[in-house]
Amino acid sequence: MADMNERLIINLKLDGAPLALDSLDADGVRINSETDAWPRGLTLEFSHNNPITEAHMHNVRSMYGWDSGTYKLKLTLDSGALVVTGVEKKALPPGSYWFKLRIADLILPTKRTVVQLKEGGATSVDVAVRADARQVEVSLDPAKADQDILRLLGASKSMLDGQGAANWLLSPAPRSSRKACLLNLLAKLRAAPNEGEALLTQVEHVFFADVDRCYFAVKPDLLTRLETLAAGSNKHFDDDGAPAAPVHKRLMERVKILEGGNNGYRLRSFRQKGKLSLQAVVAAPFSGDTSRQRYAEFDIDLGNPGDGLKGFFVHLGELLSPGKTNHIKLREKLAKDQRVGKYLCYQVISDDDG
């Protein structure tokens, strides 16, 4: 068709088989029906590959009044493939281009892929991707695993991506980074502030597991417990008040779904003292009504902003990094802490391990 919009179709191939993208929005893409995680971050670098195409792009910029550093593209999905077009018909002229694609937790080519965009039609290209070779080998043997951790994973309401949390951990489908995040957090909660008064006893069930944070339903006394730990002479935690980082407000999005609206919930943040600190962001009703469900987000900070200037910059970089906290790599550091390490009920293996 003469008026067809020029478009680039990027087909992802995992081990030679099509890897379909489930959905695409401003936050990224979903793969493998991961309903209880935020979309994976996606970055597309796209530019001209020769002076002629550069000139055509300059003409489009002039036509739309874009500045010299801006070129707007439209990304959509078609049968699981990523489709790149101009914002309107003829807004992406035919020519020679290059692109590089990045998607969280997938290994994609680091070199530029060069494509010749056809006039008035579609140009299709296959891009080989690899999954992270590291896998999480989980052990939930009742004779060896901690009973409080098993209680939470076995709770009837502990559901992730439509299945029970224990079965989810043992399934090969979920990303290893999500499994590691959940298990690292459970170990920290079991050890903090000490074995006899573990915060995990105030946690009821898990309902969301991303690569760097998890959401839980918690008992009303968790907030009181954290307030006590922040006010005590030992000061195991700091009371940060309302969290400043926008990422923490995403907990409210889930609370609204679960509660049928915000219904007067507010967020309160507490941060454990020391390195690799546990952060707890509690969502509780303004009214203090103990009959209403409480929720909490837990994550582990690579640097505590309260521990001097160096810690502040590590934390700031963590918030800005699209890669987020690498919980698979973090396991090695957590294992060196005897209080936490004995509750890590998994090992990290790779294809090279046989």
Please give the Cα distance from 76 to 87 (Å, whole number).
11
Pull the structure tokens for residue 333.
């550091």
Q: Choose the weakest-confidence range: 10-19, 218-227, 257-266.
A: 257-266
Summarised one tens digit per residue, pLDDT across range 108-165 is 999 999 999 988 889 999 999 998 888 999 999 999 999 999 999 999 999 999 999 9
Residue 47 clears pLDDT 50, i.e. is over it: yes
Please give the Cα distance from 265 to 288 (Å, whole number).
10
Domains and CATH numbers, the chain: 7-131 (2.60.40), 134-353 (no CATH)
- For residues 324 and 168, the model is more confident at 168
Q: What percent of the chain has pLDDT over 70?
A: 91
CA 64 to chain centre: 35
Task: Judge whether 149 and 158 are in contact, CB under 8 Å.
Answer: no
Which pLDDT band holds residue 4 (cuts at 50, 70, 90)?
Answer: low
Pull the structure tokens for residue 163.
């299945």
> pTM above the 0.85 mark?
yes
pLDDT at residue 266 in the model = 94
Summarised one tens digit per residue, pLDDT across range 241-291 is 999 888 899 999 999 999 988 779 999 999 999 888 999 999 999 887 888
Task: Judge whether 115 and 99 are in contact, CB under 8 Å.
Answer: yes
Residue 317 clears pLDDT 70, i.e. is over it: no
Please give the Cα distance from 45 to 101 (Å, whole number).
6
Cis peptide before 174 (omega within 30 of 0): no
Pull the structure tokens for residue 78.
């078609």
DSSP string for residues in 232-293: SSS--EEEEES--SGGGGHHHHHHHHHHTS-TTEEEEEEEESSSSEEEEEEEEETT--TTSP
pLDDT at residue 224 in the model = 94
For 268-287, b where at least 16 C-beta lie within 10 A, e where not — what string?
Answer: bbbbbbeebbbbbbbbbbee
Which pLDDT band holds residue 2 (cuts at 50, 70, 90)?
Answer: very low
DSSP string for residues in 140-175: --TTTS-HHHHHHHHSTT-EETTEEHHHHHHSSSS-
Closest by alpha carbon to 78, among 9, 124, 29?
9
Please give the Cα distance from 81 to 232 (Å, whole number).
55
